[in-house]
Chain A
């Protein structure tokens, strides 16, 4: 058993976007604030802070999760992926991000990082989704700009492109 006393900072080691990462956090520090202020990855946004809006959604051990409903000390030893992991290199966009740009699936962009990370997890597990399942999955996110239609279109387009990539890989092999 380890007891981490309040008011003190404790070492946390985890994997961030495929690389080992370490930081320090008091027990009460939320993962959102830890990532943004301690680690300096500010792509994850802080919205409602009670799990309703979905802006802070990230990938923890392969599953979409609310960073605002997670303590930083809980992720010791976990694999964390944030929106920073999606672009293949600086100045380039990933497939899902490009589909969002083409389809105007964002306006103010506040909800976008969370939606991208959710859909990134979803499309990995569901390579050929239909519109209904995407809409059901998106019910865990609030977007006040787009009305969701372009987001759904972007997700379907990205899914088709990703599936195409997969089948091409199979033919090449």
Chain B
């Protein structure tokens, strides 16, 4: 339960981060709040040769709101986003989901982008990004690019980020106020057995589910009611290919998707 040896780089400029990533790539890992990376290091599930600490870069610790988009920098801690005065109005789904993200004692250090970079299929912030069709802002010494949530998550703790890229920020569309979130876990703040988010769209509702498939999955539904809604949710629950594990059976997970999904759809559709 102790990390393997690594070099520690304390970056003072973004160029330094990109330079080290460019040279060492897959053998280097970014350290922000450390609430996902340190468990991986302690259990030696990750053994990088170099750790790059980005928390001394003030330019990454910003939350920007302009032109209908909320951009959250790589250094923004989960507690800071939760305390952001505009959160409830601008990013309601995150306001609903963040209290479920870890505990106050881990949100104080853990970052929004760090949780998304870690891409745990049960984590709340990747689910929020997927539900809102947010974007991940990737940057390397050579280029900058934006990837949609749908194209970013690639499987269990796997993403399409290239080795020389860092997540500079993530962005969410602002003002989607008709949304709902619910989670079932063994203990409040633990990883979700099933977490669901619903967002009202122009034509109907988007339902996103975490904790069931190997990544958070979002699906758009038209305005459905009654047995048509139940059938659609049942189909979605089966498509997620739930598996049995020590926390819950696949059947129980499907049941939660159907039950929570129905409640959330009714909540966001007037």
Contacts and interface: CB of A to CB of B under 8 A. Distances in A.
Interface of A: 1-7, 10, 26-28, 30, 33, 49-52, 54, 57, 60, 63-66, 68-71, 73-74, 76, 118, 122, 136-137, 139-141
Given A51-B35, A63-B108, 9 more contacts: A5-B7, A6-B8, A6-B49, A28-B3, A50-B43, A63-B109, A70-B38, A74-B53, A141-B105
19 contacts: A1-B12, A3-B9, A6-B6, A6-B49, A27-B7, A28-B4, A30-B38, A49-B2, A51-B38, A51-B106, A54-B105, A64-B105, A64-B108, A66-B105, A68-B38, A71-B8, A71-B51, A74-B34, A137-B104
Contact of A27 (B2, B8, B12): B8
Contacts of B16: 1
B5 interface: yes
Interface in B175-202: 187-190
Most chain-A CB neighbours within 10 Å: which of B3, B35, B104?
A: B104
A63 B109 CA distance: 8
Interface in B157-179: none
A136 B107 CA distance: 13
Contacts of B2: 28, 30, 33, 49
A26 B5 contact: yes
B106 A73 contact: no
B78 to A, nearest CB: 11
A139 B11 contact: no
Contacts, number: 117
Most chain-A CB neighbours within 10 Å: which of B10, B35, B38?
A: B38
Interface residues on B, range: 35 or more
B188 A27 contact: no
A69 B39 contact: yes
Contact of A136 (B13, B39, B51, B188): B188
B42 interface: yes
B8 A139 contact: no
Interface in B23-48: 31, 34-35, 38-39, 41-43
A139 B99 CA distance: 11
Contact of B8 (A4, A51, A52, A65): A4
B225 to A, nearest CB: 35
A33 B42 CA distance: 12
B246 interface: no
B103 interface: yes
A1 B43 contact: no
Contacts of B8: 3-4, 6, 10, 27, 71, 73
A39 B78 CA distance: 30
Contacts of A60: 108-109
B1 interface: yes
B237 interface: no
Nearest to B106: A51
A69 B9 CA distance: 17
A49 B12 CA distance: 29
A6 B7 contact: yes
Contacts of A33: 2
Nearest to A57: B105
Contacts of B105: 54, 57, 64-66, 118, 140-141
Contacts of A49: 1-2, 42
A134 to B, nearest CB: 11
B123 interface: no
Contacts of A6: 5-8, 49
